[in-house]
Amino acid sequence: MSSFHRSLVPGRPRRLVLSLCLVAVSAWPLWPARAASYPLPAPGNDLVGRVKVIKARHKDTLSDLARRYGLGYDEIRRANPDVDPWLPGAGTRVVIPTRFILPHPWKGIVLNVAEMRLFYYPKVKPGESGRVITFPVSIGRGNWETPLVTTRVTAKITDPSWHPPKSIRAEHARQGDPLPAVVPAGPDNPLGQFALRLGLPAYLIHGTNKPYGIGMRVTHGCIRLYPEDIRALFKEVPVNTPVRIINRPVEVGWEGASIYLEAYPGLGPALKPGQAMARVRRRLAARAARVPGRSAAEVDWKRVREALRRPRGLPVKVSADGIVDPAPPEGESAEK
């Protein structure tokens, strides 16, 4: 406790002053609930959102900016490979990669583990237009990979208790951090305040008490969201919502007459260049087959190879029309 803090409350014990500070910090709404919600694009189109460029403040880190703009850590790092993640510096241009090629099918929850992003397509009610809500997520690490399955939401749980399986308790014991058989709800519970149970034993979509791990491979297979994001998703998603978990490191889609490609580092064995190109061709052919008048022959394959060589997770125009995307708008302040 600094002399400055002691001077604020003369004669009070340090412990009391510290407690008051902690209460004030916990009560301050630093991260209000917000959700990235977009109207579904017109038929035959696949992209939503836009890429922005903001100017960092002197105290910002990329982790701070990721959470502020609804991104995961790896997501913002890929988009800004030359920016110091812990000290970007005041006035530094930071790319905010909030433009997405929507994964099909547009139904229920679709989670692309390669992208580490969840897309929720609510049912369209009479008189409403379709929309998509998207959040960054953390997924399984190492030998605890998040399974690729089609399942559904079977229950919604508020203030869940955590019953760590024997394998996780054994891992923590080896690290000198033993776990109890049950971790009750509260600030020390890694499940956070809300959880969606899946029709898959031992796997949940849940919050976290360690939000700076969002957007990385850090879990034991479950899917974690920022506390404010799981709160928003929890309110929206009904029981029995279908859930599809995919690993799609290459996504393609159309916007108007232009073809876009979005590439991520694969979670499995690295693809050889020829394998990656073949995968792109199959994806384009499959997508074109669903949209009359579209053809994969319109692709500039040189641009495709460059996008695959540097997978930054940003939609890149790969049409053979000679037109490139304009630079994103610049000058927005991170104060927003």
Active site residues: 206, 222
Beta strand spans in the chain (E): 36-39, 47-49, 52-55, 93-96, 99-101, 108-112, 117-121, 131-136, 139-140, 150-158, 194-198, 204-206, 217-219, 223-224, 242-246, 250-255, 258-263, 316-317, 332-333
**CB 38 within 8 Å of CB 49:** yes
Residue 108: CA count within 13 A, CB half-sphere: 17
Strands 223-224 and 36-39: unpaired
Strands 258-263 and 316-317: antiparallel
**Which residues on neighbouring strands pair with residue 217, listed in sequence order?**
139
Residue with token string 């053809």? 295
**Which residues on neighbouring strands pair with residue 125, listed in sequence order?**
none
For 65-79, letters b (16+ CB in 10 Å) and e give bbbbbbbbbbbbbbb
Q: How far is CA 53 from CA 25, 76, 82, 281, 329, in A?
A: 30, 12, 14, 31, 6
**CB 231 within 8 Å of CB 193:** yes
Report how far residue 95's alpha carbon sits from residue 118's, in angstroms, rounded to the nearest whole number.
21
